[in-house]
Structure 1
């Protein structure tokens, strides 16, 4: 399998959400791990999709593909295992009369001003009362949030969800920590900022203003698009009748990030998770791309020549790894990817395309060519490989980026992001 290092997508930033940060609806809650709308545009054009063709994204995150696909009049199916991200994805697909939404803002504002004791005040590191030397939210922020949340309880679904999305966004705007890769990093001046009710209310009203603006200027038609909450491996097995023309997705990278932990504050804020046992149960449903959960050991290991060469080198370096379970994690990850690719192949129309945005990885100085391995797995389960197209080489840390490591020979592994492009039918020769 060969990487196309001079692909048309190289250095396009298609794997980032930078161009969509201020886009209608997407800006309601921005997740930096999302990719660009332009990538969907390119995939639609190259896959010859028209509006009758269904799009699917089994790892839809904050809803880039369900939203962009629906805006382009396609019935789009998203699957997301994280309840908070599924909530965000679903909210971006909602349509509500702006005037209906606006009439509830004073009600929620009243709740914010009145405040209410939060169940999170003494829980873990959520507030000072939890007993930690650092805490995520000042008590005034948590109580303002809870007061506003309670006022939404009896409202109709579209308005309730949109108001709650703005409340969560305002809470995170007033969080003493900011997301940085796989964890929250405390602001340098978090104590002196003394974030409280006035800042929370300001952020809530600002967020409500552009939600209302987008509902008016960028209305969305309901065309059968859906976002399912659950494990993609299980949902794909259950939904037998969802044939698709295009799958554009980006599964969790093989970078040891536990996204149930990354979005832990939001999960507790929306009350999807209320205790640690539920968080552990959620981890069990995630793709095996991290070592923060104890899963059954993988059973398969026949993932092609690239995998076979890599896994032996990795096993030989176990003693210098920060976690000796990493080789098992890598094997389990590709077993899960094979599961997803197999189920997608069964639901693919004859001319379907699958584009998967992925990053390579490195542990103990051993490069893991994730893109090439996935391409070989795709061939094994019935896909045809059109191309493995380089998007960019990676230089710093983050969800899309792992710290570069020196390999056993002292040379630097250049990690990269690529698109693995697969087709159900024959691959036409390219000029």
Structure 2
């Protein structure tokens, strides 16, 4: 059995594999997407390549870091994203046709609308159907206090009345970045949890919500639009991947690309950590009307990579990969302690999805094209799932040569695993299409 070449890259990658380096960077800082990597990671890949790529694919676009950063190098990036909030965010960041005058004109319209608010705004701009989204007498817990929700609805109403889709979409991004901050909850790993003492926190007035929103437009978005216009005056029309970003399941949509047209893949799929991003970004999805009912929520979950247990996946075949078979066998010994009965199907389904992805990528990629695949190992009940090796074997089975597995970071496992497994390895798998 092939042994893979592991390379210690902790010093190189530890500082650049986390999105927090992007928080104050041009365009990347519009929304704090904690699961992503930094723009420096993309830059490091382009700098080390011994060829100039023409067409990159990003199967799991997330907030669009890969496609946005490749615009600076004038490299086309076909990016795919199944989560409609992430898709909206990524596309807004990829646009290069914003103007300072257009931005200021529409901010003025917003300010006029927010100055003349409708007293019971929820009667003309209803809150989402999600049952605990807004404070109600019959609820013990709610995500937004009544006045806070009214402030948000005022902004949504104003945005809906902007007849320029380019700016109405852009203005949703600072609103989205504000939602968690002014809510009663926070992101707690895989779920949303209520803030400590949330009922005792001073309630925001609806005018406070308007102010916070307008400040983000002025202080975070506008400076970047000014920079963008300066770049255009200096260099002419800027390259954009806006029209190469697609909403939907990459496992299906990659088939639409031309065969032998791709010479680079840079991606980081959802990790096998039972995290459902429709849950963690639930507020943004509902509040921006990207999900309007529970059936749409269920359908979205079905389209995501099988890295969570929120959907009963049913019986799933097991790939013939030694490391995967070994992990499944060990996990079966703990079946009576499973916190969710779909756990084994999630693990099997995840790698079946990886198998389908690499099968399709094989046809789309040019010979000698490179793949940079950022993944991390997982652990359940003291059983480590060696995602790095399993994904590498999957890719090898579809005609990809594993050049090296770069050790990027050591990740702390959950508290339940800590005594048995001191850390989990995050890696960048570097491959070449044969």
TM-score, normalised via structure 2 length: 0.90
* Equivalent position SS for 2:266: strand
- CA RMSD of the aligned region, Å? 2.1
2:31 is aligned with 1:20: no
Q: 1:280 to 1:130 in 2, by over 3 A?
A: farther
* Equivalent position SS for 1:355: strand
Structure 1 partner of 2:209: 200
Structure 2 partner of 1:53: 54
Q: Please point out which of 3, 6, 10 is paired with 1:4.
A: 6
Structure 2 partner of 1:415: 424
Q: What's the CA shift string for 1:64-117, capped at 9, x where partnerless?
A: 111111122211121110000100000101231111111111322333341521
Structure 1 partner of 2:235: none
Q: Please point out which of 297, 304, 308 is paired with 1:279.
A: 297
How far apart, in 2, do the equivalents of 1:339 and 1:91 lie? Answer: 29
Structure 2 partner of 1:429: none
The farther-off stretch of 310-319 and 282-291 is 310-319
Superposition deviation, residue 242 in structure 1: 7.6
How far apart, in 2, do the equivalents of 1:81 and 1:130 lie? Answer: 36
Q: What's the CA shift string for 1:329-384, capped at 9, x where partnerless?
A: 11111000111111112111112111111110011111001111101111011100
How far apart, in 1, do the equivalents of 2:130 and 2:345 lie? Answer: 33
TM-score, normalised via structure 1 length: 0.90
* Equivalent position SS for 2:163: coil
Q: 1:268 to 1:277 in 2, by over 3 A?
A: same
Structure 2 partner of 1:160: 168
Superposition deviation, residue 121 in structure 1: 6.5
How far apart, in 2, do the equivalents of 1:243 and 1:195 lie? Answer: 52
Q: What's the CA shift string for 1:150-202, capped at 9, x where partnerless?
A: 22334222111112222222333312212221112222243323123233122
Q: 1:55 to 1:403 in 2, by over 3 A?
A: farther
Moved segments of 4+, more than 4 Å: 8-11, 401-404
Q: Extract unaligned runs of 5+ from structure 1.
A: 396-400, 426-431
How far apart, in 2, do the equivalents of 1:78 and 1:261 lie? Answer: 22
Q: 1:388 to 1:403 in 2, by over 3 A?
A: farther
Q: 1:173 to 1:241 in 2, by over 3 A?
A: farther
Structure 1 partner of 2:86: 85
Superposition deviation, residue 239 in structure 1: 2.8
In the alignment of these two chains, the number of paired residues is 415
Q: Please point out which of 225, 248, 254 is paired with 2:272.
A: 254
Do 1:298 and 1:331's aligned partners in 2 also have CA atoms closer than 8 Å? yes
Q: Extract unaligned runs of 5+ from structure 2.
A: 233-237
* 1:27-106 superposed matches below 5 A: 27-50=29-52, 53-94=54-95, 95-106=97-108
Do 1:355 and 1:422's aligned partners in 2 also have CA atoms closer than 8 Å? yes
Structure 2 partner of 1:398: none
Do 2:4 and 2:402's aligned partners in 1 also have CA atoms closer than 8 Å? no
2:367 is aligned with 1:381: no
How far apart, in 2, do the equivalents of 1:70 and 1:119 lie? Answer: 38
Superposition deviation, residue 328 in structure 1: 1.6
Structure 1 partner of 2:152: 145
Do 1:392 and 1:418's aligned partners in 2 also have CA atoms closer than 8 Å? yes
Do 1:13 and 1:392's aligned partners in 2 also have CA atoms closer than 8 Å? no
How far apart, in 1, do the equivalents of 2:372 and 2:137 lie? Answer: 45
* Equivalent position SS for 2:180: helix
Superposition deviation, residue 424 in structure 1: 0.8
Q: What's the CA shift string for 1:260-296, capped at 9, x where partnerless?
A: 1111111111111111111011000001111101224
